[in-house]
Chains A and B, each alone.
Chain A
Amino acid sequence: MTTHMSKQFDIEMETIRSDVLAMGGLVEAQLARGVLAMSEDENPELLETIKATEKEINQMQIDIDQQCAQIIARRQPAAVDLRVVLTVSKVVNDLERAGDEAKKIARKAAQLQGNERLTKMQYYDTIHAGELAQMILHRALNAFARLDIDEAIAIYDADDEIDMAFDLVTRQLVGFMMEDPRTISTALEVLFVAKSIERIGDHAKNIAEAVVQVVMGKDVRHTSLEEIKANIAERE
């Protein structure tokens, strides 16, 4: 980051980024709990923790948004700083939603526990997709911390992988449902979980887009990967 005349401004900009990442940490923890709820035995404490974390995440969203508004009003940031402040709002939004999805995963997974219709083996692939989502969210946040454009772009490919995993799970579940209609209600629950995982992947991708936007000063939403890569090549 460039240094400013005002040291205080530097600190404010850094705080805002650190806060976003701390919020990201909460969402990551939330998602980890969701994945854990799928693969481990019942744990009533987990749901309590998840509820508390959800509140914390929401509060952080409000706080960070307020900080952004204050910086814009008081400092009138320009160039990179303005882009950071603007994208922070977006990233925070994505994080909050990803947190919501993580909470849903944990809730549904807890309901799935002890279900006789589908065994753990049968939604093993869903768990795997959940782990993929964990990894991609982690990498997206790392890219945001380091403003690492290469890493951000690698996330596009990783998100495709989650989408593929989602398709696989869907097809598998359809198979179970056709084989034995008694599994339908359970399979639908698993499908909801898988959908939530897929959405988290999308939110992670949005965060990666925000990173590209900060670094290149270019809005890359709704742009194909090839165009972005061409843009980067141009810059270099």
Chain B
Amino acid sequence: MTLPPPHSRGWVLPSIIVVLTLIAGGLGGVWAALIVLALGFAGVTVFHLVHLYRLQRWAKSSLDHYEPLPEGIGGWGDVLAALSRREKKRVAFQTTQKQMIEQFRRMAEALPDGVIVLDERRHIEWANLRAQQWLAINLEKDRGQPLGNLVRIPEFLRFLADELNETLSVDEVAQRTLVIPSVFDTGKSIALQQVPFGRGGRLLLARDVTQYEAAARLRRDFIASVSHELKTPLTVIVGFLEMLQEAPTEMPEETREHYFDLMRTQANSMQRLVDDLLTLSALESGARAKEEEWFALTPLLQLLQQQTQALSQDKHIVTLTVPEEETQIYGVRDELASAFNNLLTNAVRYTPEGGKIELSWTINEEGRGIFAVRDTGIGIAAEHLPRLTERFYRVDRGRSRASGGTGLGLAIVKHVLLRHQGELNIDSRIGKGSIFSAILPAVRVKKA
């Protein structure tokens, strides 16, 4: 308890009244004294009431900002001045605190991750905008709502039901990560982690892992595809081997030869697949077997034309058009040769007998070199075009395998061109044929 300051002016008025009363008593007798006393009290009461009224009006004002206190006389002046100082301090303190909270809030909003604060019964206390978006919650409406009522994914409910230990290590938190699809934005994957926070509450951290998930899925799919692609020929080989082993003598020479042929075909396709896989992995690893160099293009194209003609066994007409002026290309010759060759093999494979395959080399006005393969083949429907360079993507599984494709050819082409800062353009119409163009940047092309 604090005592009133010794020099408080609260005593002044009563003292004056007492003095005045005594003087009046001395001068005019008892009645005069009583009248002065009564008037004095009335005056004091009015004085206090006025101050009280002002203070009351002030007390009702807003807490958010500093509202100057009413001025007072005498003892009231002291009290009001002291109150005024306290009020100023309080408002200043409140302002800094508000700024700090605002700062924290802005920090949480600036995070690239989602943050949600839950109380001990998993009710939403606060969430930053990102978390609100990803989990489709609206803080204004949903504060105090159990989070599980809105994000009802069964795995998530089990995740929330987990009891959290105060001494959870970072690894343990990471181990319990849950990945769910974003509630509203389909196609987005959100990884969630939770840590104890506050009194029995928890802090939920959400991260966008869409790309990571997509990459992981791609890897899984790739391994599954490779296994599948290798298994098919292997099954055939194993089947024939068993047949040959079980009936070695009675089998006519002819049948046996036929079996061996079939086995060899399958073994060859396995080998091609493994070769392509190795090529692709070499391309991806970025390691270059050979250095880049300037080399003459026309001899290479002529070689490719001959190879294509041989591959088609003269069932197609293969033509080559090159500008008169010789072109030099800067790049890895073997890689580009294999990429071009893949395009030509495809053209032979998917063009019916008697069709035409036209190879051409042109340099456009920007100086970029375009190697184009135009065929009169079966063509590709538009819906397949964007996915054509994906590994093992096939328009028609049966036909592709029957014609000896590995499903990796165009993936290799794309990679080779990427390494040369080039690109692959595909233009195709069902039944009309296709044009595959490998485009090389101007810096890699020069007229010799």
Contacts and interface: CB of A to CB of B under 8 A. Distances in A.
B152 A28 contact: yes
A130 interface: no
Nearest to B148: A18
Contacts of A14: 121, 146
Contact of A145 (B121, B150, B153): B150
B148 A29 contact: no
A22 B141 contact: no
A18 B151 CA distance: 11
B169 to A, nearest CB: 30
B216 to A, nearest CB: 18
A24 B156 CA distance: 13
A88 to B, nearest CB: 13
A142 interface: yes
Contacts of A148: 141
B142 A22 contact: no
B149 interface: yes
Contacts of B152: 21-22, 24-25, 28, 141
Central interface residue in A14, A18, A53, by most chain B CB within 10 Å: A18
Contacts of B154: 22, 25-26, 29, 53
A21 B153 contact: no
Given A146-B141, A146-B142, A148-B141, A17 B149 contact: yes
Contact of B146 (A18, A24, A26): A18
Central interface residue in B136, B145, B152, by most chain A CB within 10 Å: B152
Contacts of B153: 25, 28-29
B274 interface: no
A133 B121 CA distance: 31
Contacts of B73: none
A22 B145 contact: no
B157 interface: yes
Interface in A106-143: 138, 141-142
A148 B150 CA distance: 13
Interface range, A side: 10 to 19
A24 B152 CA distance: 7
B226 to A, nearest CB: 18
A22 B146 CA distance: 11
A215 to B, nearest CB: 14
A21 B122 CA distance: 14
Contacts of B141: 146, 148
Interface in A130-177: 138, 141-142, 145-146, 148
Central interface residue in B136, B157, B183, by most chain A CB within 10 Å: B157
Given A145-B145, A148-B141, A22 B157 contact: yes
A148 B140 CA distance: 13
Contacts of A29: 153-154
A202 B272 CA distance: 56
Given A141-B152, A145-B150, A25 B145 contact: no
B188 to A, nearest CB: 15
A141 B149 CA distance: 8
Contacts of B136: 142
Contacts of A141: 152
A151 to B, nearest CB: 10
Contacts of B145: 145-146
A24 B121 CA distance: 20
Interface string A27-43: 01100000000000000
Nearest to A56: B154
B148 A22 contact: yes
Nearest to B144: A1
Interface in B108-161: 121, 136, 141-142, 145-146, 148-150, 152-154, 156-157
Interface in A40-54: 53
Contacts of A138: 183
Given A14-B121, A21-B148, 17 more contacts: A18-B148, A21-B149, A21-B150, A21-B152, A22-B152, A22-B154, A24-B152, A26-B154, A28-B152, A53-B154, A141-B152, A142-B136, A145-B149, A145-B150, A146-B141, A146-B142, A146-B145
Return the 5 tightest CB-CB contacts between A and B, nearest first.
A25-B152, A145-B149, A21-B149, A18-B146, A22-B157
6 contacts: A21-B148, A26-B154, A29-B153, A53-B154, A138-B183, A146-B141
